[in-house]
Amino acid sequence: MNLKDIIRDYPDYPKKGIIFKDMWPAIEDPDAFEQILSEFEKEFGGKIDTVIGIESRGFIFGAALANRLKISFIPIRKKGKLPGETISRDFELEYGSASIEIKNESLKGKSILIIDDLLATGGTVEAAAKMIEELEGNIISLGFLIELDFLKAREILSKYKVYSILRY
């Protein structure tokens, strides 16, 4: 199955000039979702012991992959959504700014995959990586369903291994 045939484009969403890549049809289709998880499992199985998913669509792939690999899953959420002590980072998006947080717990000795649905400018995942490094986690790779090559996020993420199933 060609996953690119399932992803839908929405021009000028959420604002003029942006072409939104809608990955939900790939989640709605059980065969497509299975293909995505199989590709992530093939790439990361045996190399990681923790998946960290970025809210919200990173939760879908991250939790499913972690369960499949029988390893732990940790969420990174929008600021103000996690109980207890957290650390946070502000960052710029393609169309605004935001802040994310993670529980303030040691990740020392953990081999980590950070996963999300889309790599655009790299701001979100760069902020996530900085928090994980602050907590002494060992980032093995950054994984995405979709990468928008023209935004050149790999340049700011050059110190990390980046794996994307689909590249546009």
Clarify whether 39 is annotated catalytic.
no
Q: Kindly report the backbone phi and psi dihedral angles of residue 100, in degrees, each rounded to the nearest multiple of 5, phi listed first.
A: -125, 165
* Cβ-based neighbours of 107, under 8 Å, separated by 6 or more: 50, 74, 132, 135, 136, 137, 138
Which residue of the set 57, 77, 89, 147 is catalytic? 57
Clarify whether 94 is annotated catalytic.
yes
Nearest to 153 by CA among 65, 90, 88, 93: 93
Residue 153 to residue 144: CA distance in whole angstroms: 12
Considering Cα of 60, then 65, then 68, then 72, what sign does the dihedral take? negative
Spatial contact of 9 and 19, defined as CB atoms under 8 Å apart: yes
Structure tokens at 122: 């790299």
Spatial contact of 107 and 45, defined as CB atoms under 8 Å apart: no
Which residue of the set 68, 92, 94, 154 is catalytic? 94
| Catalytic (active-site) positions | 57, 94
